[in-house]
Each structure stands twice: as C-alpha cells, then as structure tokens.
Amino acid sequence: MSQSFPKGMDLDFDRHHLWHPYTSMLEPLPVYPVVGARGVTIELEDGRRLIDGMSSWWSAIHGYNHPVLNRAVSDQLGRMSHVMFGGLVHEPAIELGRRLVALLPDPLDRVFLCDSGSVSVEVAVKMALQYWHARGRPEKQRLLTVRSGYHGDTFMAMSVCDPVTGMHSLFSGVLPEQLFVEAPSCRFDEPWNEEAIHDMRLQLEAHAGRIAAVIVEPVVQGAGGMRFYSPRYLQRLRELCAEHDVLLVFDEIATGFGRTGRMFAMEHAAVVPDIVCVGKALTGGYMSLAATVASGHVADTISGGEPGLFMHGPTFMANPLACAVAVASLGLLDAFDWQSAVSRIEGKLRKGLAPCAAMPGVVDVRVLGAIGVVELERPVEMASIQKRLVDKGVWVRPFGRLVYLMPPYVIMDDELDILTLAVCETVREEVTGTR
C-alpha cells in the first residue's frame, strides 16, 4: 500500500512543531513547501519552480531525481534496506570502499563508513586521540586549527569551529578547549608569503607535545566564511606536522568530489593528510553518509594498542541503501566529464557575479570551481532576502554577510545566467536599500 499525503501542507503544524536548522521556535523563518524536484529545479506547492543554487547544502551534485541514482536505491531496497555492520558485511559497502580507496591518494586506504559529516569529524578526532594513546603519548589530546573554520555541529566538531563565527559560542564553557591560529591570510590566487604560516608554526613549536592533530578544510573554508586560500599553506602545514610529530586531518566534506575543480581540494597542493573526512556529495545528496579514511599506519597503530580496537560503531554505519547510491553517484562522476562541467560553471560564475564587485557595500567577489561568493559589509536580513530570491525564481540560502552559489554540476548555462542575475539584482537591492 503506497503512502499518501493530504493535499496542501499544514504549515501551521510546521511552524509550531517542526524545528528547522538554525531557527527559533518563537520567531521561525518563513519556509517554502516543496512538492517535487527534478534536475536543478525545485517545485513549490504553489506551482513556482526555483533553480537550485545550493545543491541542497552542496550535496546534490547530479541534481534531483536522477534515474541512475533512483534505480540504485530501488534495486538495493529490493534486496535489503539495512543490516548492522557489526559482524556482517555487504557488497555495496565493499564496492564503495574499493572506489574510495581508488580515488584517494596513497596511503589513505582504511575506510570507516559513518552517518554524516559531523560524525566523520568526531571519528577523525577519536582516531587521532587513540593513535597517540596507542603510541604511549596520552598527553597529546589537543587539536590545533585555524580560525574561520567550520567542521560540524556535534560536540568535538564544534570545538574546532571558529569560536566567534562558528555558530557555537554559546557552548564555549562546555566544549573542549582547542588551540586556534589566525586563518590563512594568503588568497588562493596570490603569491605565497611565508608570514601566512607564521602563527601556525609558532603554535606547533610551542605545543607539539600536547597536540594530537591539526585539522583544516583544505583550500576552501566553507560555512565559516567561504574563504579560498593558497595551496602552498597546505604544503607548509604538511611539512610542519611531520617535523613536530603531529597528525594532519583534512575535512573535505564540502570540497570533496569535484567542487573546487579537483576531485579533492588537497590535490591543488599535492599534499596527503594522515586522515581525511568526506561526506555531503558522497551519495549525490540522496542519503546521509560519510567516511573517515585513514592511512594504514594510523589504523594499524590504533589496532595494535590498547584496547586493540577502534572505539566507535554507529547503528546505521555503512547502511546498504546509502552505500549503494554512493557507489552509483561515484559511477556517474566517473562516466561524466565533471572537470569540464565545473570549469564551465566557474567561468559563468566569474562573469555573472562580476557586476557585484563594483557595488557599494560589497567587500569581495570570489570564485573557485563551482563555488561563487559575494561578501557584503553587513549581514543580510534572512527572511527578506530569501523571499526576494524566491520571487526571482531561484533557491539561494545566504548566511551572515555571504550570498553564495554552489549549483549542481548538471546546471545549464541559461540556468546559471538566471541564478547570477538574481543574485546581482538582490545584492544591489540589499546594499542600496531598494526593493
């Protein structure tokens, strides 16, 4: 018997009972009822169609309702939707692990499949702590990171988000206190300046005996500010971590699977960390799934120490449905010239967002791969700007001082033109006060 829903969504129930992300239950932001999505278009209940500039928080890289991904879920559902991963294994998990190991550089080849991006960061931190415990260095418990970073909303992930801009200052007295240095000052396209790594080097020299790992988002700092920095920073960071015997963790949750023009952002620097976190686009936006992938050295060290096993095991770890659609998503990437698609999107974003640079109240316009950012002097008024973007036929979700685009890779040029024009018009309204 198929599931049916009453016609017309009960928005009053939604307002009073469904708690949306980053919203108040007393003064919730407006929501827009969705009845369908296909390609790069979201269909609202009132019949309006919106071109999606967000890829559903950067995950739906192939667009919506893709027949290959639909079939992968349907076929797997006919076999089994879920079995526990403790003591059991299934082909979708094996195939996904095989594909991830093939995509990632050596020596990243030990794959821990988990629930979400935030959880993959938790797993990476636990790996780092257990690694040093196994090596007889339990005092190495602190994490070092850069300001303006964002790594998720679970507790250890919150502790390495920017303490001011990372949306978690309320918990500052409860979270583990980590070490922070200034964000990289060298832009992606600027000549390298060794001063950019100075603060990081000083912290490692002073505290290496207590630091388990450095964790950063390679090249692109995502939700903490959408900043693009020099790949040379990662090369110097790799050297410093090796010099001071500290593990290096890359958070590729937002950047992985082609978003910056490379399969992984670390490839811009030709640098390999000890542990990497991936998620978001892993399943093409269909289901929640992430992975923490470690080197054999890290995995074997943990397994050889007390208690002789890794202390983590989510109930839905390696869910067969999620693994099957992830395999299909990676297969689509393999069969699709995504590099050309992302290069084309980059060119259109540069051209389409360029007019914003001359507007008063705009601090910066920057583009890298399939990421376009307009940074304003002042934070936007969320409810107002969201409505104006929807009225222009696009789905864009600004935050803070940033109006940004991360569209699906399958978006067409005319759809990109509509997106960038809507952003330019809306930014002009926002900075001039006209509506």
pLDDT digits (tens, 9 = 90+) for 123-180: 999 999 999 999 999 999 999 999 999 999 999 999 999 877 656 677 878 888 999 9
pLDDT at 5: 64
pLDDT at 403: 98
Contact 58, 254 (CB under 8 A): yes
Q: Residue 257 is inside which H or E element, if any?
A: none
Q: What is the mean predicted confidence (pLDDT) over 1-29?
A: 85
pLDDT digits (tens, 9 = 90+) for 75-133: 999 999 999 999 999 999 999 999 999 999 999 999 999 999 999 999 999 999 999 99
Above 70 in pLDDT, residue 350? yes
pLDDT at 208: 98
Residue written as token pair 């054999």 = 296
Q: At what angle do helices 67-79 and 320-335 cross, to 10 degrees?
A: 150
Euclidean distance between CA atoms 276 and 200, whole angstroms: 20
Euclidean distance between CA atoms 218 and 346, whole angstroms: 19
- In a 3-state reduction of DSSP, which class is residue 66? coil
Strand arrangement, sheet containing 362-368: 362-368, 371-376, 402-405
Above 70 in pLDDT, residue 4? no
Q: Which residues are catalytic?
A: 22, 150, 251, 280
Torsional sign, CA 434, 380, 196, 253: negative
Q: How many CB atoms lie within 10 A of CB 328?
A: 25
Average pLDDT for the chain:
95
Bridge pairing between strands 247-251 and 220-221? unpaired
pLDDT at 426: 98
Euclidean distance between CA atoms 146 and 181, whole angstroms: 5
Euclidean distance between CA atoms 60 and 103, whole angstroms: 19
- pLDDT tier at 1 (50, 70, 90 boundaries)? very low
CB burial string 164-189: b at 16+ within 10 A, e below: ebbbbeeeeeebeebbbbebbbbebe
Instruction: Say whether the peptide bond before residue 307 is cis (omega within 30 degrees of 0).
Output: yes
Contact 212, 131 (CB under 8 A): yes
Q: Terminus-to-terminus CA distance in the chain, angstroms?
A: 49
Above 70 in pLDDT, residue 279? yes
Euclidean distance between CA atoms 191 and 394, whole angstroms: 36
Euclidean distance between CA atoms 212 and 190, whole angstroms: 31
pLDDT digits (tens, 9 = 90+) for 182-239: 999 999 999 999 999 999 999 999 999 999 999 999 999 999 899 999 999 999 999 9
Euclidean distance between CA atoms 422 and 177, whole angstroms: 42
pLDDT at 130: 97
Q: What is the mean predicted confidence (pLDDT) over 292-305?
A: 98
Q: Residue 401 is inside which H or E element, if any?
A: none
Contact 94, 318 (CB under 8 A): no
Closest CA to 367 of 404, 399, 398: 404
Q: At what angle do helices 198-207 and 231-243 cross, to 10 degrees?
A: 20
Residue 58's φ and ψ, nearest 5 degrees, are 75, 15
Above 80 in pLDDT, residue 6? no
Helix extents (H) in 80-139: 91-103, 117-134
CATH architecture of 69-335: 3-Layer(aba) Sandwich (3.40)
Residues 6+ apart with CB under 8 A from 317: 85, 113, 114, 115
Above 90 in pLDDT, residue 360? yes
Euclidean distance between CA atoms 129 and 273, whole angstroms: 16
Above 50 in pLDDT, residue 409? yes
Strand arrangement, sheet containing 49-52: 34-38, 41-44, 49-52, 394-395
Q: What is the mean predicted confidence (pLDDT) over 380-392?
A: 95
Burial class (CB in 10 A: 0-12, 13-18, 19+), 423: buried
Kindly state the percentage of the chain with pLDDT values over 90. Answer: 92
Q: What is the mean predicted confidence (pLDDT) over 335-354?
A: 98
- pLDDT tier at 433 (50, 70, 90 boundaries)? confident
The full set of domain ranges for the chain reads 69-335, 338-360+425-435
The DSSP bridge partners found for residue 34 are 44
pLDDT digits (tens, 9 = 90+) for 39-77: 999 999 999 999 999 999 999 999 999 999 999 999 999
- In a 3-state reduction of DSSP, which class is residue 18? coil
Above 70 in pLDDT, residue 325? yes
Above 90 in pLDDT, residue 339? yes
Contact 393, 43 (CB under 8 A): no
